[in-house]
Structure 1
Amino acid sequence: MTIVLVDDLRDFTDGRPATVARTSAEGVALLTALGSARIDELWLDHDLGGDDTIWPVVEILERAAFEGTRLDLGAVHVHSANPPGAAKVVQALTRWGYPARISTGSPALGYQGPDTP
């Protein structure tokens, strides 16, 4: 099972194996490297720190769909502390036929770090 998480701060609380990108540039590079491989779960955070957002990743997905080579995604979970941003991402991706939904508040994700138990 292939799970990709693009998020600057969060990780999976249950320790599920995932490939993690912390910036949009890393997310773009990861999706480009995976090419046509199936991604069972793609988790996207809208705000990625500073001025960085998920939009460059969304543009890769939109371009692939426009060119008729939509990525093979089982589910797209959009989570963010920015509800309007998350809603716009879901709207953009569902327009292109991706199975996207808002997953903000999912217990599957949490902030991890040296002070997190």
Structure 2
Amino acid sequence: MKEAQPVPAPVILGIDDLRPLPRATRIARTSGEGIQLLHDHRDSFIDELWLDHDLGGEDSILPVVTLMEEAAFNGRPFRIGTVFVHSANPIGAETVVRSLTRWGYRVRRTTA
């Protein structure tokens, strides 16, 4: 009889300067940390990616979005089940949703 393989825990990443994101397995607080987080998971499947637009001060999620767009442009998009955009900035959130949707990512606007 074959032994059942354990089901791997979902990979849920968050990039947000303030929110605790209790479901997240890892959280980045700046765009730089967010870019590193995606690089760390480059060759694995990310079940959920939670993005906030405004990351404190002059920082925003846009460098992360650019990285994701460039990856898709180069034919190697990040493998992500769903990207959730949960920003209190409606214009910024809509920009992220439109940009990533254009490149084939599955994106939903939501609240954290």
Using structure 1 for the length normalisation, give the TM-score. Answer: 0.85
Match of 1:8 among 17, 33, 40: 17
Q: Structure 1 counterpart of 2:16, which letter?
A: D
Match of 2:60 in 1: 53
Q: 1:4-43 residue pairs with structure 2 within 5 A?
A: 4-12=13-21, 15-43=22-50
Paired residues, what number?
Answer: 103
Match of 1:44 among 48, 51, 67: 51
Using structure 2 for the length normalisation, give the TM-score. Answer: 0.88
Q: Structure 1 counterpart of 2:103, which letter?
A: W
Give the secondary-structure state (helix, strand or coil) at the position aligned to 2:81.
coil
Give the secondary-structure state (helix, strand or coil) at the position aligned to 2:80.
coil
- Point out 4+ residue stretches in structure 1 off by more than 4 angstroms: none
Match of 2:4 in 1: none
Distance in 1, matches of 2:73 and 2:35, equals: 17
Identify unmatched segments of 5+ residues in structure 1: 110-117
1:36 to partner: Cα distance? 2.0
* RCO comparison, higher one (Cα < 8 Å, 6+): 1
Give the secondary-structure state (helix, strand or coil) at the position aligned to 1:46.
coil
Please say which structure displays the higher CA radius of gyration: 2
Q: Structure 1 counterpart of 2:107, which letter?
A: A
CA gap 1:17/1:79 in 2 versus in 1, 3 angstroms: closer
Q: Structure 2 counterpart of 1:6, which letter?
A: I
Match of 1:65 in 2: 72
Identify unmatched segments of 5+ residues in structure 2: 1-9
RMSD of Structure 2 on Structure 1 (CA): 0.9
Q: Structure 2 counterpart of 1:54, which letter?
A: I
Percent identity between the aligned chains?
Answer: 53
Q: Structure 1 counterpart of 2:82, which letter?
A: A
1:17 to partner: Cα distance? 4.5
Q: Structure 2 counterpart of 1:61, which letter?
A: M
